[in-house]
Structure 1
Amino acid sequence: MIPAPSGASRRVGAARARLVAVLLTLACGALGVIASTQTWFTVDLTGAAAHSLSVPGSTAVPILAPLSLAVLALGAALSIAGTVLRFVFGAIEVVIAAALIVTTWPVAFTHPVGAVARVVTTATGITGDASVAKLIAQNVATPWPYVTAVLWLVLVATGVFVLATARRWRSTGRRYRTDATGRQPSAGPLDAVESWDDLSRGEDPTDSGR
């Protein structure tokens, strides 16, 4: 028979689940912010206006930068959230990821004129998608739209992971718990998130107690 996991093993597993969820959320948010500053399309114009224009992610998908910053904030909040807020933040994370998929995937895989129209209009003064389309000889995507599209799938999976595991996360990062017999250490080492929890409460996570 395979022995059931001990209490210490479950606690370590819960701590790792929270750490994975927080780090993945922060990574997705950070990469989203970076992607918003990178060139997504190179547009070649025709006629008298013939030259090349670079279109950044923040222009192709205007909500990319603000929602990526919101994901970063969610990652930070998840590191200290209680059980109820974990479910709330996990649900918000899934909703944000879905919104980013809906807006990013069409841009990445169909290259609509609207994604580059603002840059072309700024350079030429021509407005309207139909008029702008006539000026475009070629619209070439860089890898960034595709990388970002996949990134939001990871974010959806992370949000679902948060919802699936949030109840098992430790509700406190304290290394020691007080009971009728006095101050006793909990099993297992502190992880980075738990240390941050202690510091946010004004406690010293390195204090071994009395």
Structure 2
Amino acid sequence: MTPVWARKSTLVLLIAVLALAVFGTTTQTWITVTLDPDQAGQAAGGQNSLAVQGSKAATAVTALALVALAGGLAASIAGKVARWVITVIVVLAAAGIVTAAATVLSDPLSAAQGSIAAATGVNGSRAGTEVTAFPVLAVVVGILLALGALLIVPAGRYWKSRTKYDAAVSAAGAGTSATAAGPVDEIDSWDRLSRGDDPT
């Protein structure tokens, strides 16, 4: 009996949910910037504060979340070797997510410079920054995503379904065996010849 954690639907859904959760964090405010009083007047509308979304503070996180999502979905139809490749890809994507989010946490001002420059027209400004909980959430979910991806290989041993290619090969093999066991007529001979078998 297949354990709950090893079920294909469960594992693929888990990776998809985690990847979407990471993607969701990037749509939220990661950094709240308090602009320098000398530059606040240059900002659009004279605002003295600026909200920086995760997609702008760590642009790589959005792309890596989509890569992880695609990898998780691909695992549901992948063969044995392909599952190893997908596992590596998703783990690397998760590592990139954690690294990018941790970089924002360690130096939020640098991560916000692009948004500050876009709002004020000045690069390298000094401003106060306050980090929200979403970068931390991205780190935590990224770690969980990597752990979930590592389950693909051991769980794959319980997955009985095959790809369409494998099913076609299996059906062809069964047909060949059945033909070999029974009487061979002209039509069967041509069919075997088209498959590369010598009916003689």
Q: TM-score, normalised by structure 1?
A: 0.69
- Please state if 1:95 is matched with 2:85: no
- Please state if 1:167 is matched with 2:164: no
- Please state if 1:76 is matched with 2:73: yes
- Please state if 1:115 is matched with 2:111: yes
Residue 121 (structure 2) aligns with: 125
* Counterpart Cα distance in 2 of 1:56 and 1:98: 20
SS at match of 1:168: coil
CA radius of gyration, larger in: 2
Aligned residues: 161
* Counterpart Cα distance in 1 of 2:33 and 2:146: 31
Among residues 40, 49, 52, which one is paired with 1:52 in the alignment? 49
- Please tell me the root mean square deviation across aligned C-alpha atoms, in Å: 2.5
**CA contact under 8 A between 1:40 and 1:142: conserved in structure 2?**
yes
In structure 1, give the amino acid aligned to 2:100: T
In structure 2, give the amino acid aligned to 1:93: V
Among residues 58, 61, 64, which one is paired with 1:61 in the alignment? 58
Deviations 1:132-187 (A, max 9, x none): 2x2x0x2111111111110111011011111332233223399xx998xxxxxxxx
Long gaps (5+) in structure 1 = 1-8, 180-210
Residue 203 (structure 1) aligns with: none
Runs (4+) of structure 1 exceeding 6 A deviation are: none
**CA contact under 8 A between 1:39 and 1:144: conserved in structure 2?**
yes
In structure 2, give the amino acid aligned to 1:74: G
**CA contact under 8 A between 1:36 and 1:64: conserved in structure 2?**
yes
Among all aligned residue pairs of Structure 1 and Structure 2, give the percentage whose two residues are the same amino acid. Answer: 30
Residue 148 (structure 2) aligns with: 158
1:10-21 equivalent positions in 2, closer than 5 A? 12-13=2-3, 16-21=6-11
**Measured at CA, do residues 31 and 14 of structure 1 come closer, stay the same or move farther in structure 2, by a change above 3 Å?**
closer
Structure 1 residue 73: Cα displacement: 0.9
Deviations 1:44-90 (A, max 9, x none): 11223330001000111111111111111112111221222111111
* Counterpart Cα distance in 1 of 2:74 and 2:5: 16
* Counterpart Cα distance in 2 of 1:171 and 1:93: 22
- Please state if 1:22 is matched with 2:12: yes
Q: TM-score, normalised by structure 2?
A: 0.72
Which structure carries more strand by proportion?
1
**CA contact under 8 A between 1:15 and 1:169: conserved in structure 2?**
no
**CA contact under 8 A between 2:64 and 2:93: conserved in structure 1?**
yes
Long gaps (5+) in structure 2 = 41-47, 165-169, 175-200
Residue 3 (structure 1) aligns with: none
